[in-house]
Amino acid sequence: MALDGKTSEYKQIGSTPDRPDGLDKVTGRARYGADIHVPGMLHGAVVRSPHAHAKIIKIDATKALALKGVKAVVTRADFPEGLEGEDWNLQENCMAGEKALYDGHAVAAVAATSALIARDAAKLVDVTYEVLPHVTDVDAAMQDGAPIIREGAADYSVPEGMHPNVVRYFDTGRGDLDKGFADADLVVERSYTTEAAHQGYIEPHACMGQMGADGRGEMWVCTQGHWFIRRMSTAVLGIETTNIRVTPSEIGGGFGGKTTITFEPLSLALSRAAGGKPVKMVMSRAEVLRSTGPTASASMDIKMGMTKDGKITAAHGTFRMQGGAFPGAPVDVTTMLAFANYNIEHVHHIGYDVLTNRPKQAAYRAPGAPMAAFAVESTIDEMCRELGLDPINTRLKNAARDGTRSTFGPKFGPIGLVESLEAARDHPNMQAPLGPNQGRGIASGYWMNWGGETSASVAMSEDGTVTVSVGTPDIGGSRASMALMAAEAFGIKYEDVRVNISDTGALGVNEPTHGSRATYASGLATIKAAEECIGKMCQRAADKWGIDVDAVTWEDGAAKPSGPNAGDHDPLTIGEICAEMGETGGPISGHYEGSPTGFSGSFGTHVVDVEVDPETGHTTVLRYLVVQDAGKAIHPAYVEGQFQGGAAQGIGWALNEEYIYGEDGRLQNPIFLDYRIPVASDLPMIDTVIVEVPNPGHPYGVRGVGETGITPPLPALANAIRSATGLRLTGLPMTPPKILAALKAHGDNG
Amino acid sequence: MVEVNLWSSLRRFADGQDKVDVPGKTVGELLDNLVAAYPGLAPVIKAGVSISVDGEILPAVKSAPVKPDSEVFLLQRMKGG
């Protein structure tokens, strides 16, 4: 479908109208997860383990059940047995079985007539534990003698002889590393670490579940993907998927963390135990941080070779990641993308997915890519410094481009890394003068994007306005993007399109809003469904005029006779055709379903200027520039918002955010006062440049843009701090105490 | 026959080869024939993989056509946030 839509002279694409859900969201009318209230509703609360690793000896709910207002208590005994693979992992994570595997792991849940009673009752559930040794550090978890989280959890990929906590192993690459390193004038080896960072969405997880004695029910839930919630929840409970209808609420951020289940099935289990009454559950912030997935933490070794004129000759990376007490750390993706920015003939990656006593990790914006970018882009910066090379020109020299064989195998098609580097090089921020204790850092990043299962419908109304139904929740303004693409396809006004996020009963399966896919995949589906409607409207016009449909064209929202019939009839507008559709054949609608595969990836380059206070170690971000390829920006303001959001989260990950565990294995900072995400006063206005190298796999050239932006900030900040202080920090986050200690060790803070 | 490129750690399931030739006109046929020829790859395929055909990464589109001269890579299963 190579760019079979319009490629120039767009009337709607590229404009920046207000989002259609904006008024609802600024007036409080939009309904988020916790806004649901239904008659007879109960409230749920979860009993969570205070231990990092403990055998559950006994659960006694007698006192809780005796409390007035308590209607049900559920434990693992209320869930089916015999699940395997990821279904078992999900069930075990939602409700512990024989052992509590991390601080915050659910061991029981309570439903009561008020949230207060439910919380009081949860405290009355008496759980007897036998505390076991624990481990929360990825390197420690791989050592001989480390506590074993779960015997037999390793899959086919793990060679014999590794610690049982290593549950997946990856080994990818090509070429001759010895030759590649022999060809280098400089070989640099460094080790790096990153800490787990949470997605930090403002809206805590919330849901309402109802399930009656007939095994049928419904859920209202804050999620990025309600079909995923349905499939996972029903698998955990052992019921058929279509027995549960799931409606998504509005969503206050997800960033990957709301693509899975954590406590949602508990609302259904409690409802079933309470005679079918609906049960609402809302997490506290502490529950979010203790029990929902942050991303993995990482320990990495990088070795790279470079000639004195800047050509990368070889690269090797070893990546160890822990994703909590279950398999799933995104090291598989890391071992594909770590060096993907560059054209490298000799390249190799080793990856270990390691269990620890931490919460089950969840996807977080470009999962697995930012950690590797931190290690690889920091190493390249070191090499450029040692060889006296310009960091942008060196990246340009090695940059992947159309036709380059990627480090993970296939050749790239049209991509925009070179264009992003050139735009960064030419940006005024590169010329801004730097003062004492100030430094500039540059880094590039990549995310490969995703298509995924997609189903969408478009329905014509009697007045010629249009309703678009998609299955991807609107997190970052996708309603506006869908409306713009539909309006462009139909040749009508943006305001004449309404976009609904449908529930699981209204469309076929849709994957979540993840993988930077919503604007790409649901947008493509919307365009295709609109084109089906246009075809049907052309047919109605042809029938009315008594000509062949092939002699009808669609232009500016109207059917027009063409060819030999041109001018024989007045155009029939969309409104005129739809006003008569009841008498000309009935309703007109279009539909698309498929798994579009032409998603292509997005590259970006970031430039940051910082000032490091030598007395406190505090880093101030002075300027920040994001340059990224969007293919074609449908709504440029929301594309810029994605760029800025990714950068802000990356800055937080680089400078402040971390999961801090005590010696007892308990999370020490489970609130936003202590887990410090960036706030507005921490950041400058983040400058953006949208590069547009059209993606041939989308009618309008769209590439997903949501995830790439979090990849470069980690190394860009490290490179800037290196420039400002002369110190190479190899462990994130680069907090003021850490920088101050490094300055003192180096004797640079007076 | 179509040449399928495997990632390094799969070599031990494919007689030490990092490229194997298997028949197939679609992605689904290729995967079925891969497992038939190299049963050790069965858990890999079952766990989920992506396939790249001539530079286009296909998630699980088993009906996607493959030509004898197509460049095919078996890749880790993709996911995103």
Residue A613, Cβ density class (10 Å: 0-12 exposed, 13-18 middle, ≥19 buried): middle
Phi–psi pair at B65, nearest 5 degrees: -75, 150
Please name the residues in contact with A22: beta carbons below 8 A apart, sequence gap of 6 or more: none
- Count CB-CB contacts under 10 A for residue A156: 17
CB contact under 8 A, B56 and A697: yes
CA distance A122 to chain B (A): 33
CB contact under 8 A, A171 and B5: no
CB contact under 8 A, A515 and B81: yes
Which pLDDT score, from 0 to 100, does residue A662 have?
98
Residue B9 forms contact with A (CB below 8 Å): yes
Chain position carrying tokens 């969201």: A25
Split into its structural domains, chain A has a count of 3
* Residues A581, A681 within the same domain: no
Phi–psi pair at A449, nearest 5 degrees: 70, -175
Pairing of strands A206-211, A186-194: unpaired
Select from A573, A594, A615 the last residue of a domain. Answer: A594
Touching B: A residues 529-568, CB under 8 Å: none
Task: Indicate whether A111 belongs to any domain.
Answer: yes
CB contact under 8 A, A597 and B61: yes
**Which among B7, B40, B58 is the nearest to A172, CB-wise?**
B7
b (16+ CB within 10 A) / e for A669-684: bbebeebbbbeeebbe
Give the torsion sign (CA, A510, A512, A517, A520): positive
Residue B79 forms contact with A (CB below 8 Å): yes
Task: Indicate whether A232 belongs to any domain.
Answer: yes
CA distance B78 to A449: 9
Please name the residues in contact with A15: beta carbons below 8 A apart, sequence gap of 6 or more: A484, A494, A635
**Which among A172, A410, A706 is the nearest to B55, CB-wise?**
A410
Which pLDDT score, from 0 to 100, does residue B49 have?
86
CB contact under 8 A, A367 and B64: no
Q: Which residues of A fall within a CB distance of 8 Å from B52? A: 409-410
CA distance A9 to B74: 40
Which pLDDT score, from 0 to 100, does residue A214 have?
87
The alpha-carbon radius of gyration of chain A (Å, integer) is 27
> How open is the CA angle A659-A664-A669, to the nearest 5 degrees?
30
Select from A232, A252, A282 the last residue of a domain. Answer: A282
Q: Which residues of B fall within a CB distance of 8 Å from A410? A: 52, 54-57, 71, 73, 75
**Which among B44, B58, B76 is the nearest to A336, CB-wise?**
B76
Domain ranges of chain B: 2-76
- Count CB-CB contacts under 10 A for residue A685: 8
How many helices and strands in chain A, by DSSP H and E?
A: 19, 26
Please name the residues in contact with A714: beta carbons below 8 A apart, sequence gap of 6 or more: A194, A370, A371, A373, A374, A443, A650, A653, A654, A732
**DSSP assigned state of A437:** T
Which pLDDT score, from 0 to 100, does residue A1 have?
43
* Residues A543, A689 within the same domain: no
Residue to substitute from A87, A89, A156, A602, interface B, most B β-carbons within 10 A: A156
SS3 A745: helix
Write out the H or E segment, with its range, that includes residue A742.
helix A736-746
CA distance A707 to chain B (A): 7
Which ipTM score applies to this complex?
0.92
Which pLDDT score, from 0 to 100, does residue B58 have?
81
CB contact under 8 A, B75 and A336: yes
Q: Which long-range contacts (CB under 8 A, 24 or more apart) does A177-181 make?
A: A177/A314, A177/A316, A177/A346, A177/A347, A177/A348, A179/A314, A179/A346, A180/A305, A180/A313, A180/A314, A180/A315, A180/A344, A180/A345, A180/A346, A180/A347, A181/A303, A181/A305, A181/A313, A181/A314, A181/A346
Residue B50 forms contact with A (CB below 8 Å): no
CB contact under 8 A, A597 and B57: yes
Residue A403 forms contact with B (CB below 8 Å): no
Please name the residues in contact with A211: beta carbons below 8 A apart, sequence gap of 6 or more: A217, A244, A268, A271, A272, A276
CB contact under 8 A, B81 and A366: yes
CA distance A540 to A580: 9
* Whether A177 contacts A346, CB under 8 Å: yes
CB contact under 8 A, A171 and B44: no
Nearest CA in chain A to B53: A410
Please name the residues in contact with B59: beta carbons below 8 A apart, sequence gap of 6 or more: A450, A451, A452, A595, A597, B50, B78
Nearest CA in chain B to A199: B81
Hey, which residues does A58 pair with through a beta bridge? A128
* Residues A456, A440 within the same domain: no
Q: Which residues of A fall within a CB distance of 8 Å from B55? A: 410-413
CB contact under 8 A, B47 and A155: yes
Chain position carrying tokens 């071992």: A335
Which pLDDT score, from 0 to 100, does residue A212 have?
87
Residue B28, Cβ density class (10 Å: 0-12 exposed, 13-18 middle, ≥19 buried): middle
CB contact under 8 A, B7 and A170: yes
Q: What is the CATH number of the domain that holds A530?
A: 3.30.365.10
Task: Indicate whether A170 belongs to any domain.
Answer: no
CB contact under 8 A, A365 and B81: yes
Task: Indicate whether A255 belongs to any domain.
Answer: yes
* Residues A479, A445 within the same domain: no
* Residues A276, A302 within the same domain: no
Hey, which residues does A45 pair with through a beta bridge? A110
Residue A348 forms contact with B (CB below 8 Å): yes
b (16+ CB within 10 A) / e for B36-61: eebeebeebeebebbbbbebbbbbbb
Q: pTM for the full model?
A: 0.96
b (16+ CB within 10 A) / e for A209-222: bbbeeeeebbbbbb
Residue A250 forms contact with B (CB below 8 Å): no
Residue A126, Cβ density class (10 Å: 0-12 exposed, 13-18 middle, ≥19 buried): middle
- Give per-10-residue mean pLDDT for chain A (750 aa): 60 96 95 96 98 98 98 98 96 98 98 98 98 98 97 93 96 96 98 98 98 92 98 96 97 97 98 97 98 97 98 98 97 96 98 98 97 98 98 98 96 97 98 98 96 96 98 96 98 98 98 96 98 98 96 97 90 98 98 94 98 98 98 98 98 98 98 96 97 97 97 98 98 98 83
* Residues A127, A226 within the same domain: yes
Tally C-beta pairs within 8 A across A and B.
Answer: 99
Residue B71 forms contact with A (CB below 8 Å): yes
- Superfamily the domain B2-76 falls into: Beta-grasp domain (3.10.20.30)
* Residues A525, A484 within the same domain: yes
Task: Indicate whether A156 belongs to any domain.
Answer: no
Span between the terminal Cα atoms of chain B, in Å: 37
Task: Indicate whether A158 belongs to any domain.
Answer: no
* Residues A567, A700 within the same domain: no
Select from A282, A311, A340 the last residue of a domain. Answer: A282
* Residues A470, A487 within the same domain: yes
Nearest CA in chain A to B79: A515
Which pLDDT score, from 0 to 100, does residue B63 have?
87
* Whether A17 contacts A480, CB under 8 Å: yes
CA distance A89 to A91: 5
Q: Which residues of A fall within a CB distance of 8 Å from B56? A: 410, 413, 597-598, 697
CA distance A520 to A3: 13
Residue A463 belongs to domain spanning = 22-30+451-594
CA distance A171 to A348: 8
Residue B37 forms contact with A (CB below 8 Å): no
Query: Residue ranges of the alpha helices (H) in A146-301?
Result: 177-182, 226-237, 264-273, 285-291
Which pLDDT score, from 0 to 100, does residue A46 have?
98
CB contact under 8 A, A170 and B76: yes
Pairing of strands A438-447, A454-460: unpaired
Residue A446 forms contact with B (CB below 8 Å): no
Task: Indicate whether A248 belongs to any domain.
Answer: yes
Confidence of residue B62 (pLDDT cuts 50, 70, 90): confident
* Residues A560, A654 within the same domain: no
CA distance A595 to A453: 5
Calculate the alpha carbon distances from A63 to A25, A75, A174, A296 in Å: 42, 15, 62, 38
* Residues A478, A559 within the same domain: yes
Which pLDDT score, from 0 to 100, does residue B48 have?
83
CA distance A44 to A112: 6
Distance of CA A35 to the CA centre of its chain: 24
Q: Which residues of B fall within a CB distance of 8 Å from A170? A: 7, 9, 76
Chain position carrying tokens 């993706």: A333
Residue B47 forms contact with A (CB below 8 Å): yes
Hey, which residues does A688 pair with through a beta bridge? A626
Touching A: B residues 17-36, CB under 8 Å: none
* Residues A430, A486 within the same domain: no
Residue A364 forms contact with B (CB below 8 Å): yes
Q: What is the pLDDT of residues B34-59, one digit of tens each?
A: 999 999 999 888 888 889 999 888 86
